[in-house]
A and B are shown apart, each in its own frame.
Chain A
């Protein structure tokens, strides 16, 4: 094991990997800082470009975008009171208040240091957890993996569908159904291809993700005309920001750990983590009256936690191949595209890949600190001056060219168009786009493990309640599906 750790660490320190980390972070920070864009869009359009790269290089690039975007989201939250993504929503409370007090540089420095410490420490924690994760993974057989996949989709569908459980279930089921087009995993049967060779291999997941996250997003932000912001004066000092974080080590570590725990639960990502952490910081503060009025603790709590979610979200992804968010669904797409199978292999034959990915995130957090303090604290507002009218054609061209190079199949361009339109209308009417994408990426895992389970039990569904672990998962599915409806009724009937 020590040998694997050492060789992974030296592999990540090679110059070309460092360059990939820097490129990924830069893309992530820029896209994260622009309200309406974010990690998912960046990862989706970069994914086809990773075809010539090795699995390690490609996925290091993707996780760097993911990590960079979570930090980048704080820039517009602090400078404009508009979070780049929802993961930085709580940063606006005190971050923007600091900007209004003439301490924008200080707030940006707090964000950079808190993000780097929160992200870095939780990744170190993940590194320590790896040997134990392998034991947990081995306890999961086909029925448990099937149930865990269903649980993941239900959680995401339930939480992300803003208007009803039925919409969440519909989105997830539709995602799974779409991916049944093409060759069935168990046999050579070609399903629902309309007799066309173009659909022989089915719908390409990457093209679907590009359509839903890139074209769909462009249709949505098309209504925004011109630059996103007005000029922001950068004042305050970087040194004060660094000191504010260092003087609150317990808060920073606690917030990072909250982020990690919340991030490990499918469906609950940075958006929830930053509010959880902010609320906890407020609750435990000796002096809470300044929260919301520019208290550095508010920025630390939010930023350390949202970067902590990266480590958390990698746990179900590496262990079971269950993505907990849209970004990790794209990352799973990257794994699959490069022939990397999450699960026990990640802690066995692919252990060096796992360690390398973790080390790249640790190095990435060091770069976040440097970029944040040196570049963003001084030139951050320039990112927000990018014009949406000019971003849209770049994203569309990258999406179309990217989708085509996947298989040089024109059907993939139609996939982008159809799912782009679908994503736009699903968002408009409160259907979960993320549940559909996660359903799509998990479709094969669900079908294969369901088929395997039923073969093992000779068709008996009792296999899904055949072990304490599977019973727990069934109970979790039932509680999380019906609990939100039954709990208020039970609560009302209590004296």
Chain B
């Protein structure tokens, strides 16, 4: 968890806020295509989002009382989310793949994106064993797990397909 004091206003957080602001700006501009309440409702919300992202992006240059409201936590009790985050072990670990150091999170993200692309092209049912094999290989799992995991996961998707009667799980844009 990053400590958001003035000096550590992370570049990643700026991108996060900029993304939110861009979405709000889009909805604000296009809300004028709709008459009456249908346009007013998203417009009001986009203004709230734009004001909040603006305040957070400009928090280092805000006058002191406003800065306190924007950057300081209110004096309230803690909740589920606080400790859900805190109780987790968040030590960055790297996975060595054939001598190359890769973050485990990037590995999970990369394989997930790969899984989505292969699913889109060939269907989720056929992409699942490929994803599973790749994941186990990259995570350097044992040979038994590398073989068993694709079988088990494909079986899960197959059962999913049967239970929900969704044959399209086996169809992608190239195979449909």
A interface, CB within 8 angstroms of B? 35-36, 38, 48-49, 51-52, 82-83, 85-87, 89, 158-167, 169-170, 173-174, 176-178, 180, 184, 186-187, 189, 191-192, 215, 218-225, 267-272, 275, 325-326, 389-390, 392-394, 396-398, 400-402, 404-405, 408, 410, 413, 417, 420-422, 425-434, 447, 450-451, 454, 484-485, 487-488
Contact = CB atoms under 8 A, between A and B. Distances in A.
B86 to A, nearest CB: 8
Contacts of A450: 37, 41
B69 A485 contact: yes
Contact of A173 (B52, B75, B82, B88): B52
B16 A405 contact: no
A484 B74 contact: yes
Interface residues of B, number: 85
Nearest to B24: A177
Contact of B56 (A160, A166, A225, A410): A166
Contacts of B168: 404, 408
B151 interface: no
Nearest to B84: A86
B119 A413 contact: yes
Nearest to A430: B4
A170 B164 contact: no
14 contacts: A35-B89, A52-B163, A164-B56, A164-B74, A165-B74, A177-B45, A222-B108, A223-B89, A271-B82, A275-B78, A393-B135, A393-B153, A426-B16, A431-B16
B164 A397 contact: no
Contacts of A429: 2, 4, 10, 12-13, 16
B49 A400 contact: no
Given A272-B78, A401-B157, A454-B37, A225 B88 contact: no
B52 A170 contact: yes
A392 B52 contact: no
Question: Which are the 4 A-B pairs with shortest beta-carbon distances?
Answer: A86-B83, A484-B74, A170-B52, A222-B108
B166 A408 contact: yes
A378 B86 CA distance: 29
Nearest to A434: B81
A223 B160 contact: no
Contacts of B78: 86, 159, 271-272, 275
B124 A186 contact: no
Nearest to B13: A429
B20 A174 contact: yes
A85 B156 contact: no
A364 B172 CA distance: 41
A161 B79 CA distance: 9
B113 interface: yes
A487 B164 CA distance: 53
A475 to B, nearest CB: 17
Given A86-B87, A272-B79, 15 more contacts: A49-B160, A52-B165, A86-B80, A162-B73, A166-B56, A177-B23, A191-B42, A192-B27, A222-B105, A223-B92, A268-B79, A420-B112, A425-B13, A450-B41, A454-B37
B90 to A, nearest CB: 6
B89 A224 contact: yes
B153 to A, nearest CB: 5
B81 A432 contact: yes
A267 B80 CA distance: 9
A173 to B, nearest CB: 4
A80 B74 CA distance: 32
Given A192-B42, A447-B41, A177 B79 contact: no
B2 to A, nearest CB: 6
B41 A451 contact: yes
Nearest to A396: B112
A221 B88 contact: yes
B1 interface: yes
Interface of B: 1-2, 4, 10, 12-13, 16, 20, 23-24, 26-27, 30-31, 34, 37-38, 41-42, 45-46, 48-49, 52-53, 55-56, 68-93, 104-105, 107-109, 112-113, 115-116, 119-120, 124, 128, 131-132, 135-136, 139, 141, 145, 149, 153, 156-157, 160-161, 163-166, 168-169
B131 A393 contact: yes
B160 A177 contact: no
Given A166-B55, A173-B48, A223-B90, A404 B166 contact: yes
A430 B49 contact: no
A270 B80 contact: yes
Given A49-B160, A396-B112, A225 B79 contact: no
Nearest to B123: A404
Contacts of A164: 56, 69-74
B114 to A, nearest CB: 11
Contacts of A176: 45
Contacts of B79: 86, 159-160, 267-269, 271-272
A404 B124 contact: yes
Contact of B52 (A169, A410, A421): A169
B124 A401 contact: yes
B116 A427 contact: no
Given A192-B30, A225-B93, A413-B120, A390 B52 contact: no
A431 B53 CA distance: 12
Contact of B76 (A158, A222, A402, A427): A158
A30 B89 CA distance: 19
B1 A223 contact: no
Contact of B145 (A271, A390, A454, A488): A390
Contacts of A163: 4, 71-73
Contact of B16 (A49, A404, A417, A425): A425
A66 to B, nearest CB: 12
Residue with the greatest number of chain B CB neighbours at <10 A, chosen from A89, A160, A170, A184: A170
B171 to A, nearest CB: 9
Contacts of A173: 45, 48-49, 52
Residue with the greatest number of chain B CB neighbours at <10 A, chosen from A222, A410, A485: A222
A165 B132 CA distance: 42
